[in-house]
Structure 1
């Protein structure tokens, strides 16, 4: 600040003073430092600084006032990261020093001025539907916030396979206006985005622990499960992952980013299967004579979203781009010629360790015959082997069909000596005792089924 003064008719008339610091002043409300016109006989011995008509300090000369105000302006501009202007009317008036407490220390004077003077900055306010919501330091930042929100949802949609964003717009009436604002009201870009999308810049989260559920988290957080879901739209169903971070602030957005997307999906069309009979195959056998191939249907959807949440879906087109190819499967119709005699022989030499009937934990559907590993297992009667292989808890097992809906089962074998489709004779060695499957020791599990239902094998030997 530069002070210029001159003597007129033996008196002093102070010229209008201006701040020459590198910041703009508010038009019509500029902080003006001026000296009052004085009568010729008045000789000032000090100067008083007046803010909005209130004297705040006495100084020896105008340079002290100028330097102190310069210091405050620089300090506040650095503090808020933007150029500031004085919002008050500031004057410097000549005075007499009698009884006045003159401030000599520039630091103390700057502190006094900082307490009394209010500052404003030029801000760019984003207004949504007639309501000022957030303020940015520049128009470029304000425009960048709005464009950034659009880009955020466009990018999120584009990550989904087959999606093309056709339209993106803001549902509300949005404008940007230059205004004089308090420096504290100016926010950064990321905070502005959070406020516009969530209604607040407050952040409150919860990390999922073992045993947590949506209900328990919502209850502890004093919110409903519905609100918790609204705060976390990415959570699908009720499944949570340990370590997952949930947002506990329910969004009340000021701004709605509206997107219209086109999604192309290719769906599989299951191929039909045609069955034919083959008398060279057993009834339990099937052979694929011709492989089928699924078809492909292309569907185009139009999806509408509001802030990333789907609000509507419409099928635009659906066409088959590849027809399914029929499969042909042969089913066996060969007549089972092997017939049992109706009288069983004992399947293995050993000791019965578990009988047919209820046990502690389950119902035992056969008998267990303990024997050393490798002991011969024989067919209880003549028939056709319908299965030979590994089958769950039975381990290595053989199923023999004796006709008349009679079936015998030989489980936990160490080795199977016959294959499916073979005809076996009563007393023929078909396997070796073992402990495969659910077995605590080597033994034969022998089971008899009539009409598909298990019966007590011992009753067939009476």
Structure 2
């Protein structure tokens, strides 16, 4: 009977630790909600970023347009982020992977890289400096930013996208920087 009590206490302590960890994980990301993007300290260099991905430009760029997920597969949205850049600035691989496309689409240079875990990143408009099939490492130059990204509010922007399988995701979430939070009503007003 004593062993049963010992096992019950150990199970209760384990549940308590798991619950505490889950609470911390759910609370800590919320600490970012009140901070402006400009308040987030810049990464010391592209290779030292703590997130899953590194920034594709250095120094860390200003975000000129945020990710806006489409409501439907073919619906409108912004399937990436636009980053302020200079024409000719080096575009860096956000993580190690394999280049699956380097060429033109619709008159704009594009580089796409497959990463471990079903993640794919895209960069445009760029003048590619890599070829399809090349293995790249985190921070390796992929090419240079080209002018001509439609809708860019500054002289030149890099559009940086990310997909996990078939779902477009916010690349800023993968570098540890929150995107914009949009609150929507639960139901139609009365």
Question: TM over 0.5: same fold?
Answer: yes
Residue 52 of structure 2, aligned match among 337, 340, 343: 343
Q: Which residue of 1 aligns with 2:117?
A: 404
Where in structure 1 are there 5+ consecutive unaligned residues?
Answer: 1-341
Residue 157 of structure 2 is aligned to residue 443 of structure 1: yes
Residue 416 of structure 1, aligned match among 128, 137, 155: 128
Q: Distance in 2 between matches of 1:439 and 1:389?
A: 21
Residue 426 of structure 1, aligned match among 121, 125, 138: 138
Structure with max Cα Rg: 1
Where in structure 2 are there 5+ consecutive unaligned residues?
Answer: 1-50, 177-190
Q: Distance in 1 between matches of 2:122 and 2:106?
A: 13
Q: Distance in 2 between matches of 1:454 and 1:356?
A: 9
What RMSD over aligned residues (CA atoms) do the two structures have, in Å?
2.4
Q: Distance in 1 between matches of 2:96 and 2:112?
A: 12
SS of residue paired to 2:91: strand
| Consecutive aligned runs of 4 or more in structure 1 exceeding 3 Å deviation | 436-441
Task: Name the TM-score, length of structure 1 as normaliser.
Answer: 0.24
Structure in which a larger fraction of residues adopt helix = 2
Structure in which a larger fraction of residues adopt strand = 1
Q: Distance in 2 between matches of 1:443 and 1:410?
A: 10
The Cα shift of 1:344 comes to 1.1
Alignment check: 8 A CA contact 1:392 1:437 kept:
no
Aligned residues, how many? 119
Q: Which residue of 2 aligns with 1:233?
A: none
Q: Which residues of 2 match residues 372-383 of structure 1 at below 5 A?
A: 372-383=86-97
Task: Name the TM-score, length of structure 2 as normaliser.
Answer: 0.57
Q: Which residues of 2 match residues 237-248 of structure 1 at below 5 A?
A: none
Q: Distance in 2 between matches of 1:436 and 1:375?
A: 14
Q: Distance in 1 between matches of 2:53 and 2:112?
A: 15
Larger RCO of the pair (alpha carbons < 8 Å, separation 6+): 2
The Cα shift of 1:438 comes to 3.5
Q: Distance in 2 between matches of 1:421 and 1:343?
A: 22
Alignment check: 8 A CA contact 2:120 2:163 kept:
yes
